Amino acid sequence: MTKMNVIPEVKSGESLASYIYRLAEANFYVSMESLLSEWKMRVRQLEKNVFTDSVLEIIMGITGVEKNSIRQMSSQYFRCQFGDGFYKKYVIRNQHKYCPECLSQHAYHKHDWMLEPVTICLDHELLLLDACQGCQSKITLRGLMTGACEGCGFYFSAANKEKISDPFLVESQKILQNQLLNNEIIKKGALKGLDIVGFLKLARSCSYFLQGNLSFVGKPIVIEPFYKKNVTLNNEMSCYKYGNVYWIFIDFPINIKKVKKNFDQLPNRYKHAKLQMAKKISSNSDCSVLLGKIYELLDKPTKARVKQTKKIIPVLKKQRKQKQACAAKDNVVITNDLVDQDCITREEACSILGIIGKEQMNRIIDSGFLILRKYPKGRWFLSKNEVVNFLEKYTGEYKSFDNGITFYGALKKYSQSGLSMVRLLSFIRESKLEPFRIKKGGNFTDVIFQSCELKRCMNDFYKIKYERKGYTKSELLKLLRMDFFTIDALEKRGVIKASFEKSKLGNRKIKMYDKKTIEDFQKRYIDLKQAAALFNVTILHLRKLIWSGVLHEALPGITKKYIVDVNETRALLVSS
């Protein structure tokens, strides 16, 4: 049993490792190793502030400090308090940081300096330092406890100090250190109700929108990704990240709109990836509601994106702009009524509905969704009342939605498969697809569908499309139970015919086998099993007829199994 002559007092917020260093020093141990070897412990573990239960008991025996109090000074405390995920991500174990003012005054290491989210010393409003200013190398605990860098001998207390006065940076740290790390939840503002784990998840989610931006608070430094594995600690970056997240929510949603401005400039696939990642992190967490709000804002199409959407609507591409006053042909009513307040132009209707282009409007009219009226003097109007009713009916009810596909998203995704706006509206009309509005009020830009429902509609749509035309080769293989070579051989002989059609995606031609020809083929050419059943004879009997040359193989050299012509077989069997 280790005996000590001097038992120092535990200092406020001190880490256990720091205390052990001071204990060894007070009792004139030559080195830490000599003390630790008595406890079967390594310096590496001490650097991480990790202690086994038996060592905790030894320390309790020596110092008389209660075991629970000792445990609270070790890194395990963070694991017990905030969980495994927190411990792995946010407790730094391979390097150290410190407040130069604290260190020069008291010469001990604080437990909270081991946390990535703790970035400022609130007592001194100084940025914690995470590297030796002499040689830029990582700081070790042993170095900190002796006061000088193990690499170059730089005195840590002599380091240049960086005062942090930006209110967002300081406030975010106050919330983190004084509330969240004390196991309290945030009490007010948009972040109300979040605990430490919720806040950190939210911060990581938000990092996907913030990274690459210049910081919105403090100095204009570029914000880096929040959490990267195996990357050296960057305390200043951590400080700015949490400061920026705090800033987003201190004035919500004004500030996130500033982030959105830059976010909108990104290519779509980056945006999509970022939104997905953010969503993944925050799912099943307290912060998912907040993130949902951000998501909704960021995912909303901008004017620029609406312009893009215009490009992708296929009918607009193909259709030449018509020069007549009215391009709508059907569903036009001629009236002698006077123009009144209910009359609106197609352009006005477009803006109410959130639809771009008169041509699109004309298609909607042609398809019978709305009536266009011709008033005297060749003026054309829609009824505002009818337009509003149409909007109500086809945009569905308000519902908050966190996954699904938007109206324009659907058009974009399936436009090349032949989905047009009118077709999409028809799905709704036929009650195959239920629209929801993600915003109260709102128009078609706020409409969202359940992805699976839309997929089902599209599958039905494909089926109808191809039923008329014929079979693909793979469908034919299954249908005739033949292999590729047989099909090719049949085609060469002209027994079945194929034609080329545009594929679903329109980007290549696809071979389609005419349905009628295939049906005729199936009726005429049958295998022995089918023939036996049809004419009520045994398969063996048929085989014998073929072997004896009475019945002929219908497709010799093409099929592996015997195929006979139904007419020939009938003639033979019925006459005999």
Q: Rounded to whole angstroms, what are the CA distances from 22 to 19, 25, 30, 52?
A: 5, 5, 13, 19
Give the binding-site size for Zn ion (rule: CB under 5 A): 13
467, two tokens: 């039923």
Tell whether residue 99 is a contact of Zn ion (CB under 5 A): yes
- Position among 124, 469, 473, 543 found at the interface with Zn ion (CB under 5 A): 124
Please give the distance of CA 269 from its chain centroid, rounded to a whole number. Answer: 11
Residue 154 is a binding residue for Zn ion (CB under 5 A) = yes
Closer of 100 and 470 to Zn ion (Cβ): 100
> Which of 123/251 has CB closer to Zn ion?
123
User: How do strand 447-449 and strand 405-406 relate by DSSP bridges?
Assistant: antiparallel
Q: Could you tell me which stretch among 95-103, 263-271, 340-348, 365-373 binds Zn ion (CB under 5 A)? A: 95-103
The closest alpha carbon to 98, from 178, 171, 161, 174, belongs to 161
Interface with Zn ion includes 158 (CB under 5 A)? no
Q: By CB under 5 A, is residue 151 in contact with Zn ion?
A: yes
Among 7, 152, 452, 534, binds Zn ion (CB under 5 A): 152
Cβ proximity to Zn ion, 101 vs 386, nearer residue:
101
List 24, 73, 91, 149, residue binding Zn ion (CB under 5 A): 149
357: left (phi over 0), alpha (psi -120 to 50) or beta: left
Q: Which stretch binds Zn ion (CB under 5 A): 130-138, 224-232, 487-495, 557-565?
A: 130-138
Q: Where are any strands of DSSP class E within 461-508?
A: 470-472, 498-502
Could you tell me the smallest distance in angstroms from the CB atom of residue 214 to Zn ion? 28
Nearer Cβ to Zn ion (104/451): 104
H-helix or E-strand spanning residue 451? helix 451-467
Q: Rounded distance, CA 292 to CA 269, Å? A: 19
* Dihedral class, residue 553 (left if φ above 0, else alpha if ψ from -120 to 50, else beta): beta
Distance CA 214, CA 11 (A): 39
Q: Which region among 21-29, 83-91, 141-149, 187-195 touches Zn ion (by CB under 5 A)?
A: 141-149
According to the binding rule CB under 5 A, does residue 134 interact with Zn ion?
yes
The stretch among 148-156, 220-228, 241-249, 504-512 that binds Zn ion (CB under 5 A) is: 148-156
Q: Which two tokens stand for residue 533?
A: 């059943």
- Interface region with Zn ion, contact rule CB under 5 A, candidates 29-37, 48-56, 129-137, 409-417: 129-137
Nearer to Zn ion, 109 or 201 (CB): 109
CB atoms within 10 A of CB 371: 15
Q: How far is the CB of 281 from Zn ion (least distance, A)?
A: 32
Contact indicator for 252, 277 with CB cutoff of 8 Å: no
Consecutive H or E run containing 381: strand 379-383
**Separation between Cα atoms, residue 244 and residue 259, nearest integer Å:** 10
Q: Which stretch binds Zn ion (CB under 5 A): 133-141, 337-345, 459-467, 540-548?
A: 133-141
DSSP category for residue 477:
H
Number of Cβ within a 10 Å radius of residue 249: 23
Single-letter residue type at 272:
H
Q: Which is nearer to Zn ion, 8 or 151 (CB)?
A: 151
Closest distance to Zn ion from the beta carbon of 176 (Å): 16
Q: Which is nearer to Zn ion, 121 or 558 (CB)?
A: 121
User: Does residue 121 interact with Zn ion by CB under 5 A?
Assistant: yes
**Radius of gyration over alpha carbons of the chain, in Å?**
38
Output 70 or 170, the one with its CB closest to Zn ion: 170
Contact residue for Zn ion among 33, 47, 101, 386 (CB under 5 A): 101
Judged by CB under 5 A, which stretch of 56-64, 114-122, 420-428, 507-515 contacts Zn ion? 114-122
120 binding Zn ion? (CB under 5 A): no
**Which of 132, 291, 405, 496 is the binder for Zn ion (CB under 5 A)?**
132
Shortest distance in whole angstroms from residue 108 CB to Zn ion: 12
**Chain position carrying tokens 């919500």:** 252
The DSSP letter of residue 14 is B
> Counting contacts by CB under 5 A, is residue 433 touching Zn ion?
no
Helices (H), 235-341: 235-250, 254-263, 268-282, 288-299, 303-312, 314-318
Q: What is the nearest approach in angstroms of Zn ion to the Cβ of residue 162?
A: 12
Q: Which residues would be at the binding site for Zn ion (CB under 5 A)?
A: 99, 101-102, 121, 123-124, 132, 134-135, 149, 151-152, 154
